[in-house]
Each structure stands twice: as C-alpha cells, then as structure tokens.
Amino acid sequence: MEKDKKEYKLSGMTCAACAMTIEMAVKELPMVEEATVNLATEKLTVFPKEGFASEQVLEAVKEAGYQAVEKGEQKQSDYAKQAAEKEETVRQMARQIWFAAGATVPLLYISMGSMIGLPCPSFLDHMTHPIAFVVAQFFLTLPAIWVGRGFYVRGFRNLAKRHPNMDSLIAVGTSAAFLYSLYSVVQVLFGHHTFVHQLYFESVGVIITLVLLGKYLEANAKGRTSQAIQSLMSLVPDQATVIRYGEVVAIDTEDIKVGDIVRIKPGERMPVDGVVISGQTYVDESMMTGESVPVEKNVGDVITSATMNQTGSIDYEATKVGSDTTLAQIVHLVEEAQGSKAPIAAMADKISLYFVPIVLGLAVLAVLLWYFLAGESLQFSLSIFIAVLVIACPCALGLATPTAIMVGTGKGAENGVLIKSGQALEAAHLVDVIVLDKTGTITEGKPSLTDVLTFGDVTREKLLHLLASSEQHSEHPLAIAILEAAKAEAIPLASVTDFQAISGKGIIAQVKAQEILIGNENLMRQYQVELGEYISDLIFLSHQGKTAMFVALDRQLVGLIAVADQIKKNSCKAIAELQKMGLEVVMLTGDREETAQAIAREAGVNQVIAGVFPDGKADIVKNLQAQGEKVAMVGDGINDAPALVQAEVGIAIGSGTDVAIDSADIVLMHSDLLDVVTAIRLSQATIKNIKENLFWAFAYNTLGIPVAMGLLYVFGGPLLNPMLAGLAMSFSSVSVVTNALRLRRFKIKS
C-alpha cells in the first residue's frame, strides 16, 4: 500500500476546512481507498484501488475549487523553484496588504475622525457635504474588496457546498456591512441625509486588511517547509570528479553510476556513498553523526555522501547513488515527517462549520418573527437582519489568535527565541518530553584540551611547549585543540623536524633534537615506552568520555593529556529547570555509550540513548509519540533534521547547521539551552492569552446576537441598530487586541 500511494501538490487552501473539503471530495471517488490532506505541506496523499486514474483526483480537486498537480521525484532544482514561487507569493501578499491598508487608513480617518475631534477637509464634512462624505467612503472601500475578493469566492462557494470556514464568516459579515452601507449611500443620493450615520465601510476595510495580514504571516511560516529539503539537497556538489576509462573527468553528480571511481580533494564534499580504494584522509562527519572529531579514512572504509573531506586526497568506489544515498534517505525522512505531521487545527475554523449556519439561521428567524409576527416594517426587519450579521462579523474571532501569536513571537525574538510559526508556539505548551542532542547542543561541539598530567621533572608549560611544537603542522582536530590551548597560555613554539603521523596510533616528531611521541597505548608499546601504573590514569580519563594520549620524550613517559567536547555553560542549569517544570529530559546521540554516559552524568540527564544512526533519531521520537508523549526535539546537525521535523516541536541551536535551523519550528539564536525553558514558558503564556481572547470574542457574539435580534426591545429595552452593532463589534476587536498586548509584559523567569 505504501508503495502504491500517490501524492499531489495542492494550492488554494487557506484553512483546515479547505483541507476537509478536498479530503471529502477525493474520498467520494470509487477508486480511492483513503485520502489525507496535510495543510502545512499542502500535500494530498491518496491510496488508490484497482482501476485508479490520477485524472479523477485532479478533476475532483478542481470541482471542489482548488488546484492539484501530481508530485513526482524531485531534484534540487525543483525544490529551489518551489521555494522561489512561495517567496514570490508571500511578496505578492505583502503588496496586497499595503494596497488595502493604503485605502483603509484614510477610510478610517474620514469615517471616524470627526467623532474623536480630528480635523477633516470641509468638502468631506458629513453635515455640509453628505454626498461627498458617503461617495468617498464607498470608493475607498473598493480596493480592500478587490484585494480580498478571494474571501468572497471561497467563502460563498464553501457556504454553498455546506462546508463553511473562516472565509465564509468574512464573506457574510463584510457583505452584510457593505450592502447595508451601499443602501445607505443610495438613500443619501436621494436626499435622505440621515443615512450618513449608517455607514459601515470602515468595518469592511479593516476586517479584510487585518485578515490578510494574518494570512500573510501564515503563508510566511508555511513557505519555509521546503527550505530544509533545499538546504539538504545543496550539500551535495553539483559536479564531481570521476575516473572513467583511465581518464579524469568532471561530470554532474546526478550522472554518477554505481561502480564509478570518485576522486576527492581536500575541502570537497562527498557526492555519493562509497568505499575508499586508495589514499588516506580525515573526514568531518559531524553533520551526519554529530561526532565532533573528524574520522580517519583508509582503504576499505565507508564514505557517506555530503560529508566533508579535510586533509588528504582519496579515490573511492561509488556504492549508492541518486535516491539510495544516505543523504537522499534523510531527505526522504524529512519529507515523510513533514507530510505526516498533522497541523494544529484552528479552533475558529472548527467552530465556523457550525457558527455560520447558526448565525444565518438566527438572522433569518429574526426577520420572519419581526415582519410576520410582530408586524414591523420591512425596513425595521432588515435592520435587525443586518445588525445580527454585523455583530456576528468575525473580526474579533479572526484577531483572537493572530494578535496573540504576533505579540508572543515578537517577545520571543526579543529574548533570542525565533518562533517560526503560530503552530509551534501553540504546540510547545503541550510538550511532555524534551529530547536533547549531545554534540553542539548540550556540549560545545568542538574538542578542547581538558587535562594535562606531567610525570617526572617535566613542567606543565614545558610539556605544552613540546606538544604544540610537535603538532603545529598537523591538521588533526586533536592537534588543533592542543595548539589553541598553547596559544591561550601564550606558549612559544619551536621548530619541528621529521614529523610523521602513524595511522591509528599518533605522531612522532623531532623538537630541539629530542624525539617526541604523542599517541595511544599501542604507539607507546611499539616504541617500548614503559607505561607502568599510569595506564590507570588513561582508563580513568576514558571513562569520563575523554580522548586520552600519552606523551613520551626520548622514549621516556613524561605526560598524559586528554581532549574532550566540553559541556556548555548553561546546559546543566537548563536541564535542571526543565526537570523542575515536570518535563522528562532524554539525551540522544550517535556517540559511544561510555562518552554519552559520562556527559549525561555531568549534565544531570537521567535517560540516555547512545549509538543512534541518523534515521534512528526520528524513530526514537516516533516511539515516544506512540507511547502518548508530546515531544520537543532539540538539535543542531543534519542528523537531527528528520527528528526535528517528526517531533511536535523541533528546536534548533542557532549556531547549528542551516538544515537543522530550516527543519526546526523554533530557533535558539543565542545557542543557549536556557532558551528552551523560555520558549515553553512563552508558549504557555501565549496559549492562555489566546484562550482569553477567544472567550471574549465569543462572549460578544453570544451576548450581542440576542440583543441584535431585539430580545431587549421585546421587554422595553433598547434596540441594537446596525450602527451600534458595528460599534460593539469594533469594541470586541479592541478588547482582544488590548488583551494580546499584555503579553509584552511577559517576564523571563530565572
């Protein structure tokens, strides 16, 4: 079934109800077993029956009012094209907002300015020039209606198909306000100047402009879904050097075949997977494995695509190409995770499925009751109808969530927490488990000199002098750690001769006519260096997760040094804070068990999962989710990307790879784990604010609709005419925005 599934790229969707509409339309096809729509990735997945044809699906989607194209195997250029198209769409939406706002602002000024004492041109005075007053507002409303025409097309279409959504609410509410205002304009033109007070054009302009702003923010967040894939694809070079028929030629990476001999020089990335057949080098695999120390590669060792060659030149035989490479598999995992992660359904969209028909039913009921039973005039009854629709206009409902999210994400940015979508902000407060990558997340991500033990008469300064002098021509990361330590202590270097690297053991060199040996136990035994009781120090340091090396001078043991990836300054405090919040913290790493356990003990993590391959990290997250846990994944490397996307909330370290950052929902710009605590607390505060906003938005509708229907008027109370209904609607919006702004006072607890 998995192999037979068909995937389609969708366009035209705006909310959860759109996804539901497409799903139902496709599911009705007799040749379709199952159909699911992912709003976030705009992807339709269909499981076909016998006799299936894609044309049926495409036609069904078109009939539902949307567009679909069959999704084939994608290359890097395809992802780049998609990203460019989405960027252009977002830019177009921004232009539309500016266009709508350019007309709505003067519209607000003309309509409301005189009420609050603002100066207004005499020719637009509603008392002396009522016709100019109403005509100006009419023409200033048209740009907003033109820009927001999609709301009306989709809204009324979905209403007709009995699948109302937010667009339907906007279409019905603004249409009611506009048509009533247009009626008032006609009345003014015929000399009934009292109707200048019954214009609601500004409501139309403001609603459309604000809703467009919300859609723009949503599209801006969704537009990033393909960036992670694009960044992954870009890690593979466009061209590679291969040896064919005894000749060295440059070809496109896509043209490499299994069995081709690939030649790699220092500083180049591996285009495909393979096995080394000649040469020796060190390869930086940190992007894949999370391991900070480059790995030595000799004949027979495996090469992974997208890893970076460092020191030597090698030839290797291609064993996996195209979609079979390790990187391609990771791309597939990211795509699958993106497609399977259900977006958080908007509460307003769910309620709108029932809210619109109820409001329309109540408005029609009110007209019938007042006209036929109460014997009121048609004008009176229509006024009631308009008042119900105007007060039910979803301005506050539409503002409830986006305003809180705007303020919440802005507050996060102030504190170095970049929250890329409202979905992430909403999901973070539900998290039960925090999964932390080790290298670059809990630790610094680069080796540094941690221990210098001296034996005999050799001082620490002299030992560092000999070490740094011996290693000054080496590009090995351990050598770099030694040199950085010597530089920090301002230790001078001497010239080195007869430098020789011994594969898998260490180095031998001559400094000031003295022979220096730096390496592991095997190197010392090869040169008959007596280790004695000091072997226990080596074991002790190794159990701490450190890489330890002996130092011998003229075949006499003089020291022992250790290099390790050190824990970041705030990691322990952050982990303790997360545990104090009742969250389970898990450390996930591709590193060795001993190293992982040592780091975990130091950091205060109780649960450790070590030796995990890139595809395994996403599986671990899936397993936790299968147990009913809500997972936040924190990582920084390529190997973390599938897990970041699979988790309910993916959190990337700002100093990490572009792929991790693109895959994540939240980016910690300060690369500080304490900001994970900030993100979760901010999410909790924002969700509380959203719930308050939704309560007030619905409270106004719940209380306002019966009043608009004339309930109080029946008992001798006031009648809520359309003008007051519009005022009440505006007040509800103000209250929602004001409440959202309270988030600006959010304090980061220490």
Enumerate the active-site residues.
Answer: 437
**Tokens linked to 113:** 């300015």
How far apart CA 705 and CA 450 sit, in angstroms, is 71
Element (H, E) at 622: helix 614-626
How far apart CA 540 and CA 320 sit, in angstroms, is 41
**Tokens linked to 315:** 């030839």
Cα angle: 3, vertex 6, 8; to 5 degrees: 145
Torsion of CA 716, 720, 723, 728, to 10 degrees: 130
Under 8 Å CB-to-CB from 416, ≥6 apart: which residues?
A: 654, 668, 669, 670, 672, 675, 678
How far apart CA 232 and CA 221 sit, in angstroms, is 19
Amino acid at 153: V
**Tokens linked to 188:** 């003014």
- The 3-class secondary structure across 190-243, one letter per residue, is CCCHHHHHCCCHHHHHHHHHHHHHHHHHHHHHHCCCCHHHHHHHHCCCCEEEEE
On whether the CB atoms of residues 310 and 281 are closer than 8 A, the answer is yes
Torsion of CA 110, 115, 121, 125, to 10 degrees: 90
Amino acid at 675: D
The phi and psi torsions of 632 (rounded to 5 degrees) equal -115, 125
The phi and psi torsions of 322 (rounded to 5 degrees) equal 55, -130
How far apart CA 506 and CA 512 sit, in angstroms, is 20
**C-beta contacts of 379-385 below 8 A and 24+ residues apart:** 383/721, 383/722, 384/708, 384/709, 384/710, 385/176
What is the side-by-side order of every strand in the sheet holding 607-609?
A: 417-419, 666-668, 649-653, 631-635, 433-437, 584-588, 607-609
How far apart CA 388 and CA 706 sit, in angstroms, is 8
How far apart CA 748 and CA 750 sit, in angstroms, is 6
Nearest C-alpha neighbor of 136 from the set 125, 147, 148: 125
DSSP single-letter state for residue 532: G
**Tokens linked to 138:** 């009419």
How far apart CA 514 and CA 462 sit, in angstroms, is 13
To which residue do tokens 């992670």 refer? 228
Q: What per-residue string of b and e applies to 704-713 under the rule 16 or more CB within 10 Å gives b?
A: bbbbbbbeeb
Per DSSP, the three-state class of 710 is coil
On whether the CB atoms of residues 744 and 409 are closer than 8 A, the answer is no
Nearest C-alpha neighbor of 112 from the set 36, 194, 206, 30: 206
CA-CA distances (angstroms) from residue 138 to 133, 143, 194, 318, 392? 9, 10, 17, 69, 22
Q: Within 13 Å, how many C-alpha atoms sit on residue 276's CB side?
A: 20
CA-CA distances (angstroms) from residue 667 to 311, 641, 643, 659, 662? 32, 13, 15, 12, 9
Per DSSP, the three-state class of 354 is helix
